[in-house]
Each structure stands twice: as C-alpha cells, then as structure tokens.
Amino acid sequence: MAASWEKIKAFLKIGEGTGGGRNLHVDALKGIAIIFVVFAHTIQLRHPLHDGSYLYLTFSSFAMPMFMLLSGYIIETQLRYSYWTYVKKYALRLVLPFFVWGVVSFFYFKLFPDPRIPAEMTGVSLPSFLFFLARYPGNGMWFLWVLFLNSIFFFAVLKLIRVKNWTRWENYIIIASMLLSRLANTENFGLAEFRTYYPYYAAGFFACKYYPFLRDHRKIFYALGVVLFPLLLAAFQRTGFPSFYQDLVQFFGSTGLPRFLVSIYKYALAFAGMALVSFLMELVRRTKFYGFTCWVGTLTLDIYVCHSYFVLGSGEALWQLTAMAVFAFFASLALTLLVLKRFRITRLLFLGESR
C-alpha cells in the first residue's frame, strides 16, 4: 500500500510542493490564490451579478495582485541569466502559451458562441483574432501577457542596477520604476494592466529582500490585515471608483488628488487582503490542507490557463457555484497532470515548459 502511494505521489509530482529549498509559505499562498481565482471566475461567468457579486469582489480585490507579488518574489533567483536569455526564457514560458491558448479559444468560441464575446473576436480570421488578443490581452490569458511585461521590465531594472553598480540606490531606483510605470495609460497591448500590476511585482522583490523583517513582524501585518481588509472592502468596486469617491471629489474638488487617493486605497486593500490570507494560512500550517496548497502552488499557471474551459452548467446558488468551481479546479488538475505534462510537445505549447 505504501509503495503504491509513493508511485501515485511521484506520478502526480506531489513531492515538488514540499521539496527542500522552497519557501513553503509562498507555495501555499500561490495554491490558495489559484483556488480563489477559480472560484471568482466561476462567479464571474455564471452569476447574474457578475462583477457585482460580493464574493467575486472579495477575491478579485487581492488574488491576482497576490499572484503578481509572489511572481516578483522569486525574480532574484533569475539574475544569473543575461537579459536576452531571460527574455527568451520567459517568452517561451508565458507568451507562447498565451497565443497557443488563443488558438484554442478561437475554435472554442466557434463551437460554443457566447454573446458576451466582443464582436471583434467572432467572425474574423485566426490571425486577426490573435492580433486582437495581443492588442487587448484582457480578452484572453491576460495574466501571462502582463506577467511577461512585468518580468522583463523589472529584470532590466535590476540588471541596470548591477551593471552600473548602483546597488546602494537600488530601493530608490525600483521605486522610481514603479512611478514610471504609471505613465503607461493606454489600453493597447496590456499596458494598462502593466501599470496596475507592476507595483505588486516590484513589491514581491521587496518582500523577498526584507523577508526576515516581514517574518519577525508578521503579527503586526496580520493584525492590520484582519482589521483593515473588511473595512476597505466595503467600498470596493472592481471596474469603477469606490463608493466614497464622490465624497473625495466634493472635499478636494476636480483635481488629481481624489484619483491618487483611490489608487492608494486599492493598493492598501490588496495588501490588507494578502496579509489576512497569509494569517489564515499560518493557522492551518500543520494540516494536510496546507500541504495540499503547497503542492497546488507549484501548478498555478497550469491551472490558470485551462480552468475557464471547465466552468460548465448554470445556477446562481452558492452550492451550485461551489460545485462548478470544484469541478473546474480538479478537471484542470487532471488535464494538466494526465495530459499536458505527460508529453514534451504539450508541455512546451500549452505550459511553456521546455523540459
């Protein structure tokens, strides 16, 4: 029996989530974040309120920002590569699957028309469809595209710092790059999303750099998360201004200050949510669920790219949405482990893995 279980663990790569040298808490946070994302997307696709659902607003306020932060956390381990080697590596890892899944989506939309799909994505040729996705990646696997933009820009910043021996000013240069990213205010080619998520990616680098400080003072950050997240969440609107925005306008007038304060609010909300989730994961550290999330944390991009194709059925009751999300999550795991990771060509095309 024990031998059979070991074979199953090896087949499912379960040991990869608890192997030596990994930060298990980072893996656990990635694992729980992808579970939240699957559930949030299920609500978005199947609930009549869509983005207005309170549960969706809760998860969307911090889940993808946390993914971006955790991705930035590991960039220090990549600095041994030259810049162009790094770009080629991550283009293979992220951009290639972005377009391959775009091809899948093209034929999927042909077979299963959806009135919510923009007209520019239907009734066009495949090249036109892929160009539309590149120009507006929010209609596809946008996270892959934006993660690529974030990673190559931030990697360039770090390389410049080391080549010029500006290490003593590293923090200031990175903060300057975060301010510079705010200039990307166009909707084309994912630059608006880059503007939103780059600060989280850079914050991930700081989280790695000052990890001992964060670990030693985590109780303070956890307390802030527990208190602030519910309070800040009450005003959150995903695609609009928070409910208190008009009060800011009345108080400060038609200046840029209200929008600036809203930006600070959204970042504070996301970081508070991350702190709260980290605290909750600390509470279950000694449970099997924690080990499960550590393992899932090694498969997050794999689950992300295919879970939306399994959000099937209908119904807006919580139990129905939960059942759909659970099915989509485990179906994605099954497709990843039993098919996509089993063959070299599928690993390369669909997951961006060259080994």
CA quadruple 286, 288, 294, 297: dihedral sign? negative
pLDDT value of residue 17: 46
Sequence ranges of the domains in the chain = 2-351
pLDDT value of residue 101: 94
CA distance 238 to 244: 14
pLDDT value of residue 36: 94
pLDDT value of residue 311: 87
Helix ranges (DSSP H) in the chain: 2-12, 24-46, 54-60, 63-73, 83-90, 96-111, 126-135, 142-163, 170-181, 191-209, 211-216, 218-233, 245-252, 257-283, 288-296, 300-306, 318-335, 344-351
Q: What is the CA radius of gyration of the chain?
A: 21
pLDDT value of residue 4: 40
Q: Are 71 and 77 in contact (CB under 8 A)?
A: no
Per residue in 159-196, pLDDT (tens digit) is 999 999 999 999 999 999 999 998 888 889 999 999 99
Which residue in 203, 201, 207, 211 sits closest to 90, CA to CA? Answer: 201
Check residue 92 and report its DSSP letter: I
pLDDT value of residue 67: 93
Q: Which two tokens stand for residue 32?
A: 């729980």
**Any long-range contacts for 315-319 (C-beta under 8 Å, 24+ apart)?**
315/46, 316/46, 316/47, 316/48
User: Going residue by residue through the chain (355 aa), what tens digit of pLDDT does each one get?
Assistant: 444 434 444 545 555 545 556 889 999 999 999 999 999 989 888 877 777 788 889 999 999 999 999 999 999 889 899 999 999 999 999 999 999 999 998 888 888 776 667 666 677 888 988 999 999 998 889 999 999 999 999 999 999 999 999 999 999 999 999 999 988 888 899 999 999 999 999 999 999 999 999 999 999 999 999 999 999 999 998 778 898 999 888 888 877 889 889 999 999 999 999 999 999 999 999 999 999 999 999 999 999 999 988 988 777 788 888 999 999 999 999 999 999 999 999 999 999 998 7
Which three-class secondary structure state does DSSP give residue 341?
coil
pLDDT value of residue 18: 53
pLDDT value of residue 16: 52
- Torsion angle, alpha carbons of 98, 99, 105, 110, to 10: 170
